[in-house]
Structure 1
């Protein structure tokens, strides 16, 4: 049993190293095209706003698991850079809604263009059936991770 665990550890480590190296190369190649110098939290917040269209500061805070005050500070910087715009919710005048501004929309258009370039340069070198198999495997792994680390019905998970 120990040998199998050691082999699995080595295999997973090798997969993770390859994945990290691939991402590092791709990011280095395309990062200059985005050239927006956004922090990790700013990027996460913008992704949330893009996904929701219009979303409240409180809801962003809940999704990011940070305070509304911290979200407000990030939104301030992104609003100053014309990435986001705030509006007052017409149904609840005390609630501030956030949505993408012009530069935010352009940021995601540029990101999509870069993703298409990466797909055309790299992923087209694989067979469609290989990509479907890769998706199947990653989906299975993702489901295992979510099931393992998501608390259900208030139960604590066993992390051994």
Structure 2
């Protein structure tokens, strides 16, 4: 296969993922109403999936500074999605909980994920889903190792 073949498959995959997101986004109406930035949405989704995640872990996961996370958190707090508070056991630690709207968004998101699995994912062969997951894990590992080993954006050594 040539690089052009890989590029074509890569771009088709990205296009499919974008279309999937476009079709499914209306299934979480509160998320559409809130008009969050993609960064704020990412933070919310991380907290919905990993309730005990810290701001430092969020920063590391999405590759932005703690300061940028803090700025995004301001809007999330203003919208009553997340609430920051000082941990009384360790005053240097901030705990994050869901606000009232955050709880509602989490309920909608959980229902959304369940419906996606029931309506669409369950129609696929389990072996195909496992293969897709294996390929994604392999791609993640390849990218991580390439970045750790100092490959530039064209796959050449820095």
Same fold (TM over 0.5): yes
Structure 2: gaps spanning 5 or more residues: none
Kindly tell me: are residues 64 and 14 of structure 1, through their superposed partners in 2, closer, same or farther at Cα, counting changes over 3 Å? closer
Pick from 18, 24, 34: which aligns with 2:18? 24
Return the structure number with greater relative CO, CA threshold 8 A, min gap 6: 1
* Aligned twin of 2:37: 39
Pick from 147, 154, 157: which aligns with 2:150? 157
Contact 1:55 1:99 in 2 (8 A): no
* Aligned twin of 1:11: 5
Runs of 4+ in 1 over 6 A off after TM superposition: none
Deviations 1:51-108 (A, max 9, x none): 5534555554455444444333221211111100121111233543322223223323
* Aligned twin of 1:81: 79
Larger radius of gyration: 1
Kindly tell me: are residues 25 and 67 of structure 1, through their superposed partners in 2, closer, same or farther at Cα, counting changes over 3 Å? closer
How many residue pairs get aligned? The number is 149
After TM superposition, the score normalised by the length of structure 2 is 0.74
Deviations 1:104-158 (A, max 9, x none): 2332332232233333333333222222222222222222222222x3xxxx513
After TM superposition, the score normalised by the length of structure 1 is 0.73
Mapped partners of 1:28, 1:14: distance in 2: 21
**Worse-matched range after superposition: 41-50 or 78-87:** 41-50
